[in-house]
Amino acid sequence: MKGAVSDAEKTRESAQYGLASSQRELGALKKKYAALSEELEQLKRNGSKVETRQVPPTTPTVITSSGASLLALAKQSGNDFETAKADLTENVLQRIVKESKLSMGEVSVSKESDGTYNVIVPVTWSIPSGRVLSTINKYFNDYNGKSISLSSSRHGGTKLVKISGRYADASDSRQPYSGRLFDVLQAHEIVLEASLGSKRTRLVVAGNLDCFVSCGYSKIPKNTWGVAVNGGESIHTFSASQENPIVIKGVTEKELEQNGMPSIRFILQ
């Protein structure tokens, strides 16, 4: 009898153990199911957001390589032009007037048939071409992008600095505003003036040229602007018609008595 009871108890205990184990497995499965369900819901929510997200319409914008607007670049270019213009004025035009070496040779006088006198004034000058060229080559170039250098005049040996409007206006000019700077130069002349009292004669040493096979002085803007960097007796500047020695004509005897020796100077006009 005791053996039967013992077997029954063992069977009951085994059943209870199996039940507990099954319950634990069931609980684990429920937790796993709950986790999977939550993950599925999360994926659904994320998927819903992606599907319903709208891309706003694009607006055309102007972008440059530097990221700046075209208006900002235009303003900067304007500022750069004004800075370059001041540099050109000070270190080319004014430098020629202020720093060039200028001397007067032995003056002579000749009497004309009408009773007036011609005062003959030999002049010699030398412009600081190195410093002038260093500024010019910041803004202008010769053909194929080459730097501008001294060239010889066909009218008697003076050395010239020549700036071509063709290259200044080209797409590969030294600066985007080189053409405008060329216009600035063309608005100016530098003359060497010899005067006695109210009488004066001027010789152009920097100004507009008309260049084809050779270059000649022009009173109006043409295709080139140039500087005669040196001059002396028998050395003509831009054309053979510009005399050196400079001749001051129509001087009266009274003017000769009152005014003494003539004076010479450079003038920027």
Does residue 52 belong to any structural domain of this protein?
A: no
Does residue 76 belong to any structural domain of this protein?
A: yes
Q: Residue 148: is its pLDDT beyond 70?
A: yes
pLDDT one-digit tens code per residue, 3-29: 444 555 555 555 555 555 556 666 666
- Pairwise pLDDT comparison (33 vs 76), residue with the higher score: 76
Does residue 218 belong to any structural domain of this protein?
A: yes
Does residue 163 belong to any structural domain of this protein?
A: yes
Domain around 160: 70-268
Closest CA to 175 of 75, 77, 70: 77
Closest CA to 185 of 201, 154, 209, 149: 209
Count the domains in the chain: 1
Q: Is the preceding omega at residue 122 within 30 degrees of 0, hence cis?
A: no
Does residue 36 belong to any structural domain of this protein?
A: no
Does residue 185 belong to any structural domain of this protein?
A: yes
Does residue 61 belong to any structural domain of this protein?
A: no
- Pairwise pLDDT comparison (240 vs 63), residue with the higher score: 240
pLDDT one-digit tens code per residue, 194-252: 999 999 999 999 999 998 888 888 999 999 999 999 988 767 667 666 778 999 999 99
- The CA distances from residue 252 to 120, 203, 255, in Å, are 14, 22, 5
Residue 198 phi/psi, 5-degree rounding, is -90, -5
Does residue 110 belong to any structural domain of this protein?
A: yes
Q: What's the CA gap between 53 and 83, in Å, rounded?
A: 52
